[in-house]
Amino acid sequence: MRPVAFFLFGLLALAPPAAAHDASGPQVTLLSRAEIPNLPGKSLVSVLVVYPPGGKSPPHRHAASGFIYAYVLAGAMRSATDAGAAELFRAGQSWFEPPGARHVVSENASDTEPARLLAIFVVDSSETLLTLPDAGERE
């Protein structure tokens, strides 16, 4: 398997498409997946995303039911959905992404240091693919 696993990543079909298309894309590791007992039909999925220096993902969407919490563990990330301009998030900072959002910017803010991100999804338990390629350009 390639060092860049196929995400949010080919692990259990949870890989972000960037990993399969671009050597500078993120390496994604599934950390856990569990059904939420008091929310029938919903699961909590956590993944570790490591971006190499200068690494980025092409535009993509996450599972339609997926509400996402992202937390920067190390380094700095630039992120944006269709809902707004790109923002810089440093280690210790976090953000949310609403279900169905188009992720237009997802990149390491540094060309010299890696960045690590914890992404936690609340998704329909039937959803197995967390990241879907998006061929469109940022509008």
pLDDT per residue rounded down to tens, the chain (139 residues): 333 333 333 333 333 333 344 567 899 999 999 999 999 999 999 999 999 999 999 999 999 999 999 999 999 999 998 878 999 999 999 999 999 889 899 999 999 999 999 999 999 999 988 888 876 544 3
Task: Determine the pLDDT at residue 100.
Answer: 84
Looking at the DSSP bridge assignments, the partners of residue 108 are: 77
Assign a CATH topology to domain 11-133.
Answer: Jelly Rolls (2.60.120)
Backbone angles phi, psi at 18, to 5 degrees: -55, -40
Task: Determine the pLDDT at residue 12.
Answer: 35
Q: What is the pTM for the complete model shown?
A: 0.79
Backbone angles phi, psi at 46, to 5 degrees: -120, 140
CB atoms within 10 A of CB 126: 9
